[in-house]
Structure 1
Amino acid sequence: MTRTAPSSALLLPDPGHSFWARIAHELADAIGSGIYAPGERLPSEHSLAEQFGVNRHTIRRSLASLGQIGLVRSTQGSGTYVEDFAVDLVLGRRTRRRQSLAQAGLPGGMQVLASRSLRASADVAKALEIRSGSTVLHLQVIGDGGGQPLHVSDRYFPCPRFAGLDDLVRQSGSITQAFAERGVADYTRRQSRISARLPEPDVAAHLKQPAARPALYVSSVNVDPEGVPIEYACTWFAGDRVTLTVDHDHVA
């Protein structure tokens, strides 16, 4: 799936504000109309400066503003490219991100960045319906699609029930598969809360986006067939690469 420019262009300054803002809007319109296709490299700063009759500093500011809203990405020594996709992930009763990626025609996986056992904070304990201070397994994971990082998340699992689950996730690259190996063949999402926030610097670095660009933040609770919470997740999604669809009737 591709990301189009019109809705993103609304985040740009008024085109009458300055030369760089007007040029940014013209480039955004060109991207939205398909003049510059997803994944295509834009003309060089020198070429754009000649095209618009301005200096290269003005072009750099225009391109930087397009990068901040996720329409383009700059690669040092290579140039500036149109962002090439935005995958639509469904948040339903049975949310399976690998399945959503497959439906979008994208390969994807999950990697464990860090794991540890810790005492549950009040928020984690409330979400998992356990006593504050109880032992939980904490995983920090990163998920990718089509070779691009899509989300970074902190995930909490009650112990001793899921002690050692991190090894299973490392082996399979899938929390769903890890759950199945622990006897949880099915689970559903009880709740998802979505907001837009500025990511912490380390999160922005993992997502390969500027810290000044908002990301989608989702907190969620998954439960087993008996309604017992088995996972509390706080996930940052790259806003320029992910569209979240909330489907209350989605069950598969």
Structure 2
Amino acid sequence: MCDSPDKTPIWKAIANALRSDLAEGHYSPGEKLPTEAALADRFGVNRHTVRHGLSALVSEGLVRTRRGAGAFVVSTPADYRLGHRVRFHENLIDAGRHPEKRVLSLDTRAATQGEARALHIQVGDQVCAYHGLLLADGQPLAVVLSVFPSMRLSGIFEALSATTSVTQALRSVGIDDYTRASTRLTAVRSTATQALLLQAGEGDPLLRSSSVNQCANAIPVEYGRTWFVGDRITLTLGET
């Protein structure tokens, strides 16, 4: 049986109801919506009808879906400044967001050719590699890999083991201040592992930032690569 011409289609009524929920703040930016099964129970329809309603919200840019994970409320992109001094926590706090950093792994290994070139060391020299996840208001924003020259920064592994703040870790090994020497931005696609960490789809667009930080005497102390989710960040270039 088809809906009468003057009757709102059920899928559209579901989309309208969910749109009202979003407008009234029932779900926060980045928050996961109830499952299709739960929404089907709520509206007394099948999951296909719910999926149709969610698709309308996806096309409007209000909701994003990830296969196997569900539907999430789209959040406003976070403003992130790139300049002479770049500090993750300060940037997000200035943008009115709550910053969080989670350590994924920390190890010591031999430097690759690219890392050695960026840090002005020899290939095979020991480096401390820090893998982390950056979040804004609880939503994954980026994954990061920071590499530090172990011989140049004695005690850096222990310092990074004690804090999630790179600034504090560097200060504890004698680097009171550091500045950005260079930044290179490249558009890439997310890998399966990155997609899992970022709650994104495999192959989704990411913006990769490759950078070198140096101490006061222009000696490199950190080579970092950060993979930002493309639609969750607005990068601003300029002095900070």
Fold conserved (TM > 0.5)? yes
**Selected match of 1:184 from 171, 175, 188:** 175
Q: Does 1:62 align with 2:55?
A: yes
| 1:200 alignment partner in structure 2 | 191
| 1:162 alignment partner in structure 2 | 153
| 1:173 alignment partner in structure 2 | 164
> Given residue 245 of structure 1, which amino acid in structure 2 is its aligned partner?
T
Equivalent position SS for 1:168: helix
**Selected match of 2:214 from 219, 223, 238:** 223
1:72 CA displacement? 1.8
Q: CA separation of 1:106/1:166 partners in 2, compared to 1, >3 Å: closer, same or farther? A: farther
Cα deviation digits, residues 178-210 of structure 1 (max 9, x gap): 111111111110111112111111111111111
TM-score of the two chains, using structure 1 as the length reference: 0.71
Q: Percent identity?
A: 30
**Aligned residue runs from structure 1 range 1-252, under 5 A:** 39=28, 56=49, 59=52, 62=55, 66=59, 71-74=62-65, 80-247=71-238, 249-250=239-240
- Residue segments in structure 1 that go unaligned for 5+ positions in a row: 1-22
Alpha-carbon contact 1:153-1:235 (below 8 Å) kept:
yes
Provide the aligned C-alpha RMSD in A: 3.5
CA distance in 2, matches of 1:233, 1:64: 36
1:107 CA displacement? 2.1
| 1:5 alignment partner in structure 2 | none
Alpha-carbon contact 2:191-2:203 (below 8 Å) kept:
no
Alpha-carbon contact 2:188-2:205 (below 8 Å) kept:
yes
CA distance in 1, matches of 2:186, 2:40: 35
- Residue segments in structure 2 that go unaligned for 5+ positions in a row: 1-11
Cα deviation digits, residues 129-186 of structure 1 (max 9, x gap): 1111211111111111211111111111111233542443343321011111111111
TM-score of the two chains, using structure 2 as the length reference: 0.74
Equivalent position SS for 2:224: strand
Count of residues paired in the alignment: 212
